[in-house]
């Protein structure tokens, strides 16, 4: 890149409060940061592909272009509940590797309230195909994969909870809760899922920092649980 510019992107969100992210952004954000809505811009509407299907290319390109991101932009994402890692993963999925994640706790500078105005730029998608796995492939070859479940332990164990309609996990999945340090992940071809494909991006980012690759199962449990013919372990 000839003229690198940096763009902070605020990707805070809360699974139980759709308005949380924008409200938190308007209250105070890193100066110059733009807000992206995890549910409206980093996902397609919920349905047969799960609660947070990957956004269409058109939806993601529009969101990134509006945020002032082009091929000369280095994106620094920060957020909550995997929002920043979801943006990091999507950028790389669309061929934009100039990105990183900032832990908001590491920011000790000022915060700015209100909305930021940035110039629109043209984001170009060059999608990868080696970083995802879909339901049918996962069901057919899960025995030969290292399947990682990023949900909290009680959901992985299959205990009753208000989020999952079916309680349990993909058979053989090991647990790596998204809000904890990454445990030792066995060697092999890693696939990560969570409830709906957002927090799964946290261990994928942690694996990346450790020099390992993994694939995302985008539909995650919110898709898997819709198919009664698929196996469930508790």
Residues comprising the chain, all counted: 234
C-alpha to C-alpha distance for 173 and 192, rounded to whole angstroms: 9
C-alpha to C-alpha distance for 164 and 15, rounded to whole angstroms: 13
Residue 228, judged by CB atoms within 10 A of its CB (0-12, 13-18, 19+), counts as exposed
194 is catalytic: yes
**Buried/exposed code over 174-201 (b: 16+ C-beta within 10 A; e: otherwise):** ebbbbeeebeebeeeebbbbbbbbbbbb
User: Could you tell me the two tokens for 216?
Assistant: 């995302």
Tell me which of 99, 141, 194, 201 is the catalytic residue: 194
C-alpha to C-alpha distance for 225 and 182, rounded to whole angstroms: 25
User: Could you tell me the two tokens for 77?
Assistant: 């994402």
Among 101, 92, 99, which residue's Cα sits nearest to residue 130? 92
Beta partners for 75? 7, 99
Q: Which amino acids are annotated catalytic?
A: 194
């Amino acid at each position: 890149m000839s003229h690198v510019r940096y763009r902070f992107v605020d990707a805070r969100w809360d699974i139980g409060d759709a308005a949380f992210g924008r409200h938190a952004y308007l209250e105070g954000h890193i100066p110059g940061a733009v807000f992206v809505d995890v549910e409206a811009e980093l996902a397609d509407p919920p349905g047969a592909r799960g609660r947070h299907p990957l956004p269409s290319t058109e939806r993601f390109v529009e969101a990134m272009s509006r945020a002032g991101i082009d091929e000369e932009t280095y994106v620094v994402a920060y957020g909550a509940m995997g929002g920043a890692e979801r943006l990091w993963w999507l950028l790389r999925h669309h061929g934009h590797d100039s990105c990183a994640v900032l832990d908001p706790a590491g920011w000790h500078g000022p915060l700015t309230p209100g909305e930021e105005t940035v110039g629109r730029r043209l984001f170009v998608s060059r999608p990868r195909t080696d970083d995802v796995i879909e339901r049918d492939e996962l069901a057919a070859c899960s025995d030969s994969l290292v399947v990682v479940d990023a949900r909290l332990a009680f959901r992985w164990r299959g205990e009753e909870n208000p989020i999952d309609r079916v309680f349990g996990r993909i058979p053989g999945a090991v647990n790596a809760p998204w809000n904890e340090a990454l445990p030792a992940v066995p060697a092999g071809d890693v696939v990560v899922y969570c409830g709906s494909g957002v927090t799964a991006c946290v261990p994928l980012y942690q694996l990346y920092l450790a020099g390992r690759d993994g694939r995302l199962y985008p539909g995650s449990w919110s898709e898997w649980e819709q198919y009664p013919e698929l196996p469930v372990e508790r």
